[in-house]
Every structure is written in C-alpha cells, then in structure tokens.
Amino acid sequence: MNTKRTIVFLLAFVLFMTTTTSFAQRNGADKLPPIKYQEFTLPNGLRVIMHVDKSTPIVAVNVWYHVGSKNEVAGRTGFAHLFEHMMFQGSKNYDADYFTPLQEAGANINGSTNVDRTNYFEVLPSNFLELALFMEADRMGGLLEAMTQEKLDNQRDVVKNERRQNYDNQPYGTAYEKIVSLMYPKTHPYSWTTIGSLDDLTAASMDDVKAFFREYYVPNNASLVIAGDFDPKEARKLVEKHFSSIAKGAAIKRPNVPMPKLDKEIRVSYEDSVQLPRLYMTWFGAPRFTQDEAVLDILAAVLSAGRGSRLQSNLVYGKQIAQDAFANNPASEISGLFQIVSTARPNKTLEEIEKEINAEIERIKNEPPTADEIARALNQIESSTIYGLQTILGKADQMNGYATYLNKPDYFGAELEKYRKVTPADVQKAAQTFLTDKRLVMSFVPRPKDKEMPKMNQAANQQASVSKKEKSAIDSSKLPKPAANPKFTLPTIEKTKLSNGLEVWLVKQNELPIVSMNMVFKSGTTADPQGLSGLGGTTASLLDDGTKTRSAVDIANEIQSIGARLSTGSSTDSSGVEMLTLTKNFDKALDIYADVIQNAEFPEEEVKTWRSRALVSLRQRRDNANAISNIVYNRILYGDNHPYGVTSSEASVNALKRDDLKRFYSTYYRPNNAVLIVVGDTDMKTLTPKLEAKFKDWKAGEISPMTLPNAPARDKAAIYVVDKPGAAQSVISIGQIGVARDNPDYFPLQVMNTILGGGFTSRVNMNLREDKGYTYGARTGFAFRRGAGPFSASAGVQTAVTKESVMEFLKEIRGIRGEIPVTQAELEYNKQSLIRRFPASFETVDQIAGQLANSVVYNLPDNYFAEFISRVNAVTLEDVNRVANKYLTPDKLAIVVVGDRKTIEPGLKAIEGLGSSIVYLDAEGNPIQ
C-alpha cells in the first residue's frame, strides 16, 4: 500500500506531455484503439463500468472511493490512508486478512491513497471474478462490524513503519511534506501529506475512525471497473448480487477552497543526513484536467524531459554543476504545484544552480520552444498512451480516474486532444504567468557530522507492541467458489538464425500496434576483470551515449521523436538492449537500435562525464541504508575475490578507461553471444529481411568461457553492524549463499520460499508486519544466478525492536526447517498461488520478452514454460522440508544490521550465542574498531 503511488492515467507521464497544433496537423495524430465499455448504476449509487479484453484469461477489479487526504480536517489527518490499511483487515462475512483468499487465487492485490482518492484492486484468474467482487462488497458494506481496537492499533503501527521507511529513513525523504506545509495555508486540505500526522492517528478514537468511514466509504461515493476476460451479463448479475444490499450514504460534501496564492518569495533551508545539497523551487500550478495543466506539462517536458532538454543539457551535461535536474507538474483535483528540483555536484553551490535555472526560465519566457521540442514530446505522449493499453489494470484504473473526476470513462482521446491544442506561445505565456518571483525556494543541505540528530516525535518513536495478535479460526464458508479454470495458451515462439549466426526468437502479438526488441547478451558483470568492477555495467549504460554517426543527444532526440523507448543495462549474468516502438515507426527504431548495438564508440568526453557522475553517485550511496546493507551483505558472503561480493568503488571507477570499455564491448557484444527476442505486431517473413539488412556486417567473435571462483564457506553465524547515527529504522539482512539457477531443487525452493517470505501472506511478513507491527514489509528470497546467488531475509524495522526483529527472523528460518512444521494445507495454498498467477506474467510484450530472456540466459529447455505448472504441482511436503534443511543453515547465517548503533547495540548484544562477538563495519564493509 503505497501512499506515494500517483493516479495512473494514460497520460501519467507528465514529463513527456506536449504537442502543437501545427505538428499534429502536419503529421496526423495517432488514433487510439477503441476502449469499448458498458456501464450501469445501482440504485444505491454505485457506478459500474465494464471493459472486455480477452487477450489473457485474467480479470481486474478496480474500486475507487472519491476520498483522499483532502477530505480530512486539521487535527484528524491520515484517516484516508489508515482506512486503506484497515480495508484489508477483515469484514462482516470474512473476518480475516484479505490477502489470504486472494493470493491463493493467484491475485495481484493492493491499494493506494493520494490527496484526492483511495483505490483498491485485484488482478486474478478470470474464474475468480466473483471472489474479488464478494471481497470488495463485503468491506464496503461490512467493515465496521469487524473493526476492533486491536486491528486499529496494529495498523497504526504499520503506518508508522511506512512513514519511517518511505519518509524518515530516506535521503531528502521529508521534502514534500515541508513543501506542502509551506505552500498551502494550514487550513487548506493539501497542506498535509497523505500519510498524515502520526500524533493525529495516535489520538484518534474508534468513534472518529468509524465516523469517517460512514461518511465516505459508501456506494454513492465509489465507482467499480471490471476489465478483462469475462462475460458482462454474468458480471452484472454478480455485481447486483453482492453490492445491491449496501445502503446508500448521504450526499458527499466536497472541499471547495479557492486556489491559494503566494504574495512573496519564501526562502527556507533544512539540514538532513545527506551528502549533497538539493534545491527545490516550487510555484503554484493548475488543477488537474484544466488546459493550463496541459501547458505546464509541456513546459516541464521542454525543461527536463531527456538528455536534450534545457536543464539536462545545461546543468547536468553542459556546465556539469548539477548531479540531476528535473521539472514536473503534479496537478491534483483542486490545485497544482510546478516544481524544479536539482542536486548540486560536489564543490558546486545551490546558488550557482539557482542562477542557471532562473536563466533557463527567463529564456523560455523570452523565446517559445522550438518545433522539434514540441514534436518530440507529442510523439512520446501518444506512444506512451498506446503502450499503457497493454494491461487490464492500467486501463481499469485510468477509466476509473476519468469517471471519478470527469464523469467520462472513455476520456482517453479527449485527453490527448487537450495537449494537441497547446501552442509554443501557450508554453511561453505559461512560463510568464506561473513561474514568477512568488515562489518557494527550499534547500536541503548536509547536516554537520558533529551535530546531533533531531528527536523524532513521540508518536513516531514509540515502541510497537510486542504482543502477538490473537488468531481465531478463519471462517471461509461464505467465500464464493471459483468457476471452471480458464484456458491459457502459451505464446508460440518462432526461431530463426541470421547469416552472421544471430539467433532470432519471435512471438507474434497483434492486439496493439507495438513491437518490443530485446537483444540479450550472455555475459554480464561476472565478466568484469579483477580491479575493474562495474566494467560490464558501465559498458551497457554507455552504449547509447554515442555511435560512429550519432551523438548521445542525437540518439536521445531521435528516440523521442518517434515515441520509442530505448534502455540498456546489465545484470550479473547478462547484458541487454531493449527497444519498444510503435509498429509504424519500427524501421526507424530498428535503424537506431542496430546502430547502438553495433557501433558504440564510448566517446572520451562521455566517459569523463560518466566517471564524474559515478563518483558522486558512490558518495550519495552512503545516504541510503538499503544500499549500504546490500553492499555490506554481499561482501560478507562472497569476499573481495568473487564477482558477487564486489561492487563499484572510487578506485575501480577511476581505474576504468575508454579502452577497457571498448575491449569489453568488442569481446562480448557479438552475435554468437546473443539472442534477439522480438515480441509484438510483426511476423517472421517481414522481420527477417529487415534484420538481415541491419545486422549482416556484425561479425561473430571468440567468447571465452567464464568460470566463477568458489565462494568462501561460513563456519558460524555472526552479527555485523553498520552504524547510521539517528537512523529512523534499522535495515536488516539475514542469510547465506544459496544455489545456482540450474539447481535441480529450483521448484521446491521456490515453493518453500513462497511459504517463508515470498509474498504478503508469507510467514515472515505476517509475523513481523501483521502480528507484531515491527515493519512495513518483511521478505525472503533466493537470487538465482549462474553461480550460487545469495539467500536473504530482509526488512526495515523500527529501531526500538531491532533485537526482537532479528530473533523473529531466526525463529521463522528455524521454523521452516521443522520447528514450525509446514502443513499440507499451507503447501497447497502456496503452490496454487504460484500456479494461478503464472498467466498474468505473459500480459505485455515486455513481460513476454523478459520471460524468454531468462530462458536464454539460463539455457532453459524449450518445454520449460509448458511444464511450469506441473513442476510446481509436483512439489511435495517432503521436498519442502528437505530443501529447507539442506539450504538454510541457521548456525552459519550472516546477520547485517544498518542502524543507530547507540540505540540498537544493547539489544543485539543480549541475543544469546550471537551478541558477544558483534563485528562492526563501515558503509563499504570494512572492519572498524
């Protein structure tokens, strides 16, 4: 449940939203595929919208309540977000955790809250549609009958942990709440954040909470979208069956406050535990769905969307005074804010950055954007719109948003037209009108190391209850039974080979006019030479920073001009170049794509720029407790002589030269070390000659086999502490070296891990989050690689219960080995969860390409996907017990804790058998005294 998750409209890519009338007239606007739907309204006011899409046998159920944090009042903030959590805690006819039956059905289930609305969704196999509708109806109509003080107290603890994780323990994490409190009057409903005041939540009574629910969680303040593979007639019957008896609520009173204004500039500065200062410049913008919003979106795109944008080309890559710079326009229902944010490079000042930003603002006030700037942005937004139609959840959420705010579920095309009306003169005028000297200029600067951290407020810092929630038998007798299993047909894979030996795999998908290309190279960061850690990753990241005929800016601008997406990257075992494009632009996209793959030049200036930015990133890494934990954990497990244990350092970054990049590239980026995966709206007859023409001169090379060294063996368990003074949370990572991807126990391990910590209803999450309230989320997982990757159990936990959290993790790891035996019912539940969510992993072209990429990298058999379900089904209770005991060894675990040593040390020292020999490390994993 993510309070930061914004409303997902087709046009949510606000940095790219821009167009001009002249460009649209000259080139012709893309027509969206029709989004057909039916709708009806129940007598109680519930609006129901249905959209059929039978491309995958899954269905999305998406409910919006038109209530967000703006419906709260001062002194009673955070209620909307708290109810997002409470809505998963049980209701009248199913008084238990909502994830339990839905995850068994293979559902993706969650919710989110923002200032204007709260939503809940399930994406699950289509034969479980009635289950999702039953659950949504029961919590809409019967939540209060199952609400208890115990549940409320527990979820308040979870919310506090969410705040610590997403705000207090993040670098610059409290910036947004400071911005809204400064920009808006205290009485304005946007002057507080969605997570609210923890003091308000702590002080709230059950009567307060119930009153809020009765006012806003009513059918006449909600809309329901069903999208996917279903029969609309049958769906209507189910909706009427489960929702019709819910009583209609009173008419909703909406906040109606005037758009605020600043009468002067506000300048403030705050200290934070960060390495680099950051500048936030904020103006009042325009409300959502106004024409001014569209113009300001375009202005944001011109300023910062892409390598060739004005702020990027000036501050980041030109004068190189900023590590980053971006503009955005987060509009909401009754107001909007326009922001420019930039982080200073070392030895550069925020005053220098502000001066350059002001110059760029004045420039656009004096001269409108060019036709090319507008054209690139237009193609980006139009293609992004089509890409967004691939998932039923995306469409359902967008239709719900349009229905809630505009009463127009099919507003997709009209939204595009709003941007097509914008002219360069409009953008210039918007800069003149909105970006005035009436603004907020806020700085976050590094806190002096010798300065004590500010104390957290009492509500945020109080210890979570250590008592376990009382569990009662779950009554699932009223849950509807699923219909017959739908038929799922795996996509057909066609294979061919070009004259140079490049293998090509094709999956035809004709639902939308898009094509995905993924060139998968079978070498990754494990091929880095000793002393040059990061070489493989850097090679991949710089591929698109210049070829023999195109500069980095040329590539970025050409990609934007056709609305395509190009990404390069690497992992331990592979590297890849991915391209997503509209079918109509395939030839142009392929030309750029083939050029980047075959003709990367790694220009010296780009390498220098990369090096300076990389060194700054390494410095910023020290701000992030999760990044520190990951670095230290891997180094402890693998040491300094294994590629899984080393990461980029200042020494390796400085040692890396252009010749090293060229050598790595010429060695591993060869057709005989790659497979090109193409998924989308094309066929092999059309595709093959185009690929042959573009790749015929790309020559094969000799690829040296890679042999991984043996990882060091652990002989005992130990605790390792990295001190992060004043940390709002402790980040815990516990585990050991796991197994390789080709291990014959892969499927039993997947099932065992799903039980232990692989999902919301897993043992560790239900224990540490739902029962204890120690964390916002706890998890376990195996990193399956060519070599034995790490197994880890991890969570960000409240500082005050660090010791207790470590002990609960250890208890669960011992438990899965037999101290808390896995039951047959638990086994079957988790096997069905894995099996039933399998079809949803083939919904988009990129998902299909990703599945096939794993097949390439790990040499999976041709029948792997066809046998996936049967292999999971074949896992027995004996298999789970065997692999748990074979691969999890509690007496040899590494326990890494990144947190405030002064606070957590006494508790950790009290852990029997472990606390007497704690090892203290710095943020890079080096021992300290």
- pLDDT confidence of residue 453: 59
Distances (CA, A) of 880 to 287, 647, 741: 54, 33, 17
484 neighbors 658 (Cβ within 8 angstroms)? no
For residue 337, report the phi and psi dihedrals to the nearest 5 degrees: -130, 140
pLDDT surpasses 90 at 908: yes
- pLDDT confidence of residue 906: 96
Average pLDDT, the chain: 92
Q: Is the dihedral of CA 269, 271, 277, 279 positive or negative?
A: negative
What the block records as the tokens of 312 is 């990027």
- pLDDT confidence of residue 459: 44
- pLDDT confidence of residue 702: 93
Model confidence pLDDT, tens digit, residues 500-528: 999 999 999 999 999 999 999 999 999 99
Model confidence pLDDT, tens digit, residues 300-319: 999 999 999 999 999 999 99
Residue 556's contacts (CB-CB under 8 Å, 6 or more residues apart) are: 306, 307, 308, 544
Alpha helix positions (H), 696-818: 746-756, 763-765, 802-814
Model confidence pLDDT, tens digit, residues 820-832: 999 999 999 999 9
pLDDT surpasses 70 at 468: no
Half-sphere exposure of 817 (CA within 13 A, CB side): 13
Model confidence pLDDT, tens digit, residues 386-407: 899 999 999 999 999 999 999 9
731 neighbors 629 (Cβ within 8 angstroms)? yes
Model confidence pLDDT, tens digit, residues 314-329: 999 999 999 999 999 9
Q: What is the band of 471 on the pLDDT scale with cuts at 50, 70, 90?
A: low
3-state class of 264 per DSSP?
coil
For residue 237, report the phi and psi dihedrals to the nearest 5 degrees: -60, -40
Q: What is the band of 460 on the pLDDT scale with cuts at 50, 70, 90?
A: very low
Residue labelled with tokens 């405030």? 900
DSSP secondary structure of 431-453: HHHHSSS-SEEEEEEEPPTTSPP
- pLDDT confidence of residue 394: 95
Per-residue pLDDT, averaged over 407-417, amounts to 92
- pLDDT confidence of residue 454: 58
Contacts 24+ apart (CB under 8 A), 829-832: 829/104, 830/751, 830/754, 830/755, 830/758, 830/759, 831/751, 831/872, 831/873, 831/875, 832/104, 832/105, 832/106
Cα(661)–Cα(658) distance, integer angstroms:
5
- pLDDT confidence of residue 188: 94
What the block records as the tokens of 541 is 């990241």
Give the distance from CA 493 to its chain's centroid: 29
Cα(137)–Cα(145) distance, integer angstroms:
14
Residue labelled with tokens 């049958």? 234
Q: Which amino acid is at 29?
A: A
Half-sphere exposure of 650 (CA within 13 A, CB side): 8
Question: 242, 278, 316: which is closest to 478 by C-alpha?
Answer: 242
Model confidence pLDDT, tens digit, residues 259-285: 899 999 999 999 999 999 999 999 999
Q: What is the band of 100 on the pLDDT scale with cuts at 50, 70, 90?
A: very high
Residue 505's contacts (CB-CB under 8 Å, 6 or more residues apart) are: 493, 494, 495, 675, 676, 677, 678, 852, 856
Model confidence pLDDT, tens digit, residues 327-375: 999 999 999 999 999 999 999 999 999 999 999 999 999 999 998 998 8
Alpha helix positions (H), 484-624: 535-541, 552-561, 586-598, 604-621
Question: Residue 927, class by beta-carbon neighbours within 10 Å (0-12 exposed, 13-18 middle, 19+ buried)?
Answer: exposed
- pLDDT confidence of residue 19: 28
First to last CA, the chain: 41
What the block records as the tokens of 9 is 């409209």
- pLDDT confidence of residue 473: 65
Question: 583, 657, 728: which is closest to 272 by C-alpha?
Answer: 728
What the block records as the tokens of 908 is 């950790």
- pLDDT confidence of residue 757: 97
- pLDDT confidence of residue 611: 96
Cα(752)–Cα(765) distance, integer angstroms:
15
What the block records as the tokens of 477 is 């007798």
- pLDDT confidence of residue 860: 96
Alpha helix positions (H), 622-719: 625-638, 650-655, 658-668, 684-695
786 neighbors 858 (Cβ within 8 angstroms)? yes
3-state class of 542 per DSSP?
coil
Q: What is the band of 808 on the pLDDT scale with cuts at 50, 70, 90?
A: very high
Cα(603)–Cα(629) distance, integer angstroms:
34
Question: 604, 705, 703: which is closest to 662 by C-alpha?
Answer: 604
- pLDDT confidence of residue 28: 42
Question: Residue 202, class by beta-carbon neighbours within 10 Å (0-12 exposed, 13-18 middle, 19+ buried)?
Answer: middle
Q: What percent of the chain has pLDDT over 70?
A: 94
- pLDDT confidence of residue 30: 57
242 neighbors 135 (Cβ within 8 angstroms)? no
Question: 225, 230, 224: which is closest to 55 by C-alpha?
Answer: 230
Which residues are 575's β-sheet partners?
521, 570
Give the distance from CA 77 to its chain's centroid: 26
Residue 182's contacts (CB-CB under 8 Å, 6 or more residues apart) are: 266, 268, 440, 442
Q: In what order do the strands lie in the sheet with 38-41?
A: 38-41, 47-52, 222-228, 58-65, 118-125, 108-113
Alpha helix positions (H), 145-184: 149-163, 175-183
pLDDT surpasses 50 at 172: yes
Cα(560)–Cα(826) distance, integer angstroms:
49
DSSP assigned state of 666: H
Q: What is the band of 205 on the pLDDT scale with cuts at 50, 70, 90?
A: confident
Alpha helix positions (H), 658-801: 658-668, 684-695, 746-756, 763-765
Q: What is the band of 915 on the pLDDT scale with cuts at 50, 70, 90?
A: confident
pLDDT surpasses 60 at 583: yes
Question: 540, 609, 522, 631: which is closest to 578 by C-alpha?
Answer: 540
For residue 533, report the phi and psi dihedrals to the nearest 5 degrees: -60, 140
Alpha helix positions (H), 217-329: 232-243, 291-304, 310-311
Cα(679)–Cα(493) distance, integer angstroms:
9
Q: What is the band of 164 on the pLDDT scale with cuts at 50, 70, 90?
A: confident
Cα(22)–Cα(43) distance, integer angstroms:
47
pLDDT surpasses 70 at 423: yes
Which residues are 41's β-sheet partners?
47
Residue 808's contacts (CB-CB under 8 Å, 6 or more residues apart) are: 764, 767, 768, 772, 774
- Helices and strands counted in the chain (H then E): 33, 23
Model confidence pLDDT, tens digit, residues 245-258: 999 999 999 998 98
Cα(895)–Cα(719) distance, integer angstroms:
5
How much is the CA Rg of the chain, to the nearest whole Å? 28
